[in-house]
Structure 1
Amino acid sequence: MSEDRGDSYRGLGWAHGALTVQRLGAMMAPLTFVLADGRQVSPMHIAPWAGAPGTEELPGILRRLRGDWSCAPFGYAVPVPDAAPDWAALLGTPEPGEELHGHSSNAEWEWDEGEDGTLALRLVYPPESPIERVERRIEPDPAAPAVDIVFSIHIRESCRLPIGIHPTFRLPKLAQAARLEPAAFAEGRTYPGTVEPAAPLFAIDQCFSDLAAVPLRSGRTFDATRLPFVDDSEELVQLNGIEGSCALVNRAEGYRVRLVWQKEHFPSLLLWYSNRGRKFSPWNGEQVSIGIEPLCSPFGLGPATARADNPIARSGTPTVREFAAGEIFTTRYRIEAEAI
């Protein structure tokens, strides 16, 4: 059953859960699942400042940051302190019209006609964009605590763009009371610089084969599967050649939430560890979440870096997708939960 909560929000309820989608960024949260044992769990993160007074001046993506959304293009050009030599020459300034994680993440979408039991939205891009429009459809599974999301990109002009999806999950308050379970991957990489100078943790531009043994700046290794971290930090790692699924086990609340996607569309997974590391507004040292973000992009470093001959692309993992004029690209992914 669908419920209109004004123009900005719409909700859906079904036998195994309930969800809300907002027009801004077409972001989905809260999402509540009813597990097989009758318990209710809400795995998606909502930023602590979302909708607070003063947030109107923030970029669209940050005003009511929450849950899951889609990014076309994925990433944005940012300064990278301490950039590794192999990356430094590839990092530039934002391209004209570049927005944080694309227009799709910052604009107010329009509600579209959808089938009963679903929510559908569409967004027309500016005329100078090679993307003509994007569409997003939310489909609860009538037989399970699960939601399927369909994301489509209508291409105006042939282009090469990084793309991705951006599910962000809530973590328990107790340190290390949750665990990441990524599918098999070919290679892990740490960020090619410093993500947040006030809270660095991982070594710069290092490869690893086990998420439980990520290189630290001290020379030791760190178990990055156990969340949230004890110490304040803000970090990114990318798992390349991953098989197309990752689970988050919330041991404190007794459930597992799993994300499943099409690996042929998103060959990498970006893990965004936001662990009280950003002390400035609007973060204010309060953000504790994990972004589990399937993508075709190098760390979300922006379209220009994604199109360049960067180290991830050279290693054999694509960081950009080729689109033809008139193409309609469609991908599907799933968020599901179970009791443990």
Structure 2
Amino acid sequence: MPQTWSLDWSHGQVTVHAGAAALGRTRFRLDDGRFVEPFHEAPWITAGETVEPGLGNLRGDWPCLPFGRLYGSDDPLVGAWRGLVDAPLPQAADPLGPSDHLLHGYSAASEWKLMSLTREVITLDLDYPGDSPIERITRTIRPIDGQAGLDVSVEIQARRPCVRPFGFHPNFALRGNPGSFRIEPGPYRFGLSHPVAEAAARAEPDRKFTTLAEVAVKSGGHERFDRLPFADDREDILQLCGIEGGVHLVDEHDRVAWDLSWDTAKLPSCLLWMSNRGRKFAPWNGRHLCVGVEPVASAFDFGSAIAAADNPIALAGVRTAITLEPGTPLTLGWRIRGHALAPS
């Protein structure tokens, strides 16, 4: 069995897996005494199915370095993004190594080692391959004593200067009826729909928006993208660029509100992965339902080359990658806190 480590505190229990250092089942005790589990676990995990390493730990959250994957000429990018696929590799990203080709990077496909387990904190670390400009990443899970909350962070050390996209990947379960889960982001400069012509997506690709309540769709007009789950099957990705503060989430089914916050100066966007039974191929098989609310410095999920290039988000003044230097560790993190909703 894969290794896991758990920690109890005044307001819950958290479990971390060696695979991808992923958050497993995490229980929070709310102020009304109820226990809730907000995070998602992929159905193939529950069913005990064997899948590729990049998907085998699709749970509550894991760090992605580099974030996304490398897109190629076979991927149907649209607009100005299309020209970035075959563009020369930006100097800041050169050279790319094998770990840059993995889905969400070496961190998502590897077994991490436990460094420390105390009553207050779980710490894991991972050494990157010698051909990577990343030397080591350390992940810390620290419950907030006296609160239904967690602090999650990483420290990244580089062996060579590099620029890479980075993101956390918090995934929230959608257990209620259509529209019962609300997304209320903090202020952001602009939103952008995924610039990829995907049949399973409902949003019109590569379209800007100012509110999740009004996003252009392929069938014409606009629809709400702030009320989940959707009644129809779809797979949509939206990026909130230049966000401030974080995101407020309201789950009417579990009668709980979550505040997700992070240092938006370091991770200036929020990627929303709305996986609503839209992927019909294995192992998804039309059964995957969750929303990823992901603090990122990235250009969607396009990987290191496009993130380091003069892509449309970066040209608009929103950074799409982190800069790493040897001898100067970079710390990134996010916090979640839960509050019970008043009885309806």
Out of 95, 118, 133, the residue aligned to residue 136 of structure 2 is 133
What's the counterpart of residue 52 of structure 2?
59
Gapped runs of 5+ residues in structure 1? 1-5
**Distance across 2 between alignment mates of 1:7 and 1:166:** 20
Give the superposition deviation at 1:114. Answer: 4.6
Range with bigger deviation, 93-102 or 23-32:
93-102
Q: How many residues align?
A: 331
What's the counterpart of residue 3 of structure 1?
none
What's the counterpart of residue 22 of structure 2?
27
- List aligned pairs for 1:105-184, cutoff 5 A: 105-184=108-187
Give the superposition deviation at 1:96. Answer: 4.0
**Distance across 1 between alignment mates of 2:301 and 2:245:** 18
Check if 1:302 corresponds to 2:297.
Answer: no
Q: Tell me, yes or no, if the aligned pair for 1:166 and 1:294 is still in contact at 8 Å.
A: yes
Q: Tell me, yes or no, if the aligned pair for 1:50 and 1:62 is still in contact at 8 Å.
A: no
Q: Tell me, yes or no, if the aligned pair for 2:201 and 2:236 is still in contact at 8 Å.
A: yes
Post-superposition CA distance 1:240-273 (Å, at most 9, x none): 0100311221112210112111111100110000
Out of 53, 61, 69, the residue aligned to residue 68 of structure 1 is 61
Check if 1:222 corresponds to 2:216.
Answer: no
**Distance across 1 between alignment mates of 2:77 and 2:302:** 12
Paired residue type of 1:242: I
Post-superposition CA distance 1:256-312 (Å, at most 9, x none): 112111111100110000000001111111111000001011002010011111111
**Distance across 2 between alignment mates of 1:334 and 1:114:** 20
Secondary structure of the equivalent of 1:294?
strand
Q: Tell me, yes or no, if the aligned pair for 1:189 and 1:208 is still in contact at 8 Å.
A: yes
**Distance across 2 between alignment mates of 1:155 and 1:327:** 8
**Distance across 1 between alignment mates of 2:163 and 2:66:** 10
Out of 79, 89, 94, the residue aligned to residue 85 of structure 1 is 79
Paired residue type of 2:53: G
Give the superposition deviation at 1:51. Answer: 6.2
**Distance across 2 between alignment mates of 1:7 and 1:205:** 40
**Distance across 1 between alignment mates of 2:180 and 2:201:** 22
**Distance across 2 between alignment mates of 1:46 and 1:92:** 36
**Distance across 1 between alignment mates of 2:21 and 2:280:** 27
**Distance across 2 between alignment mates of 1:240 and 1:65:** 25
Paired residue type of 1:34: R
Q: Tell me, yes or no, if the aligned pair for 1:25 and 1:60 is still in contact at 8 Å.
A: no
What's the counterpart of residue 316 of structure 2?
315
Q: Tell me, yes or no, if the aligned pair for 2:176 and 2:252 is still in contact at 8 Å.
A: no
**Distance across 1 between alignment mates of 2:315 and 2:5:** 43
Out of 13, 36, 39, the residue aligned to residue 34 of structure 2 is 39
**Distance across 2 between alignment mates of 1:239 and 1:215:** 15
Give the superposition deviation at 1:52. Answer: 4.3
Secondary structure of the equivalent of 2:307?
helix
**Distance across 2 between alignment mates of 1:235 and 1:102:** 22
- List aligned pairs for 1:316-331, cutoff 5 A: 316-331=317-332
What's the counterpart of residue 252 of structure 1?
253
Compared with structure 1, are the counterparts of its residues 249 and 111 closer, same or farther at alpha carbon in structure 2 (3 Å cutoff)? same
What TM-score do you get using the length of structure 2 for normalisation? 0.92
**Distance across 2 between alignment mates of 1:262 and 1:280:** 36
What's the counterpart of residue 291 of structure 1?
292
What TM-score do you get using the length of structure 1 for normalisation? 0.93
Q: Tell me, yes or no, if the aligned pair for 2:192 and 2:239 is still in contact at 8 Å.
A: yes
**Distance across 1 between alignment mates of 2:140 and 2:248:** 22
**Distance across 1 between alignment mates of 2:34 and 2:119:** 26
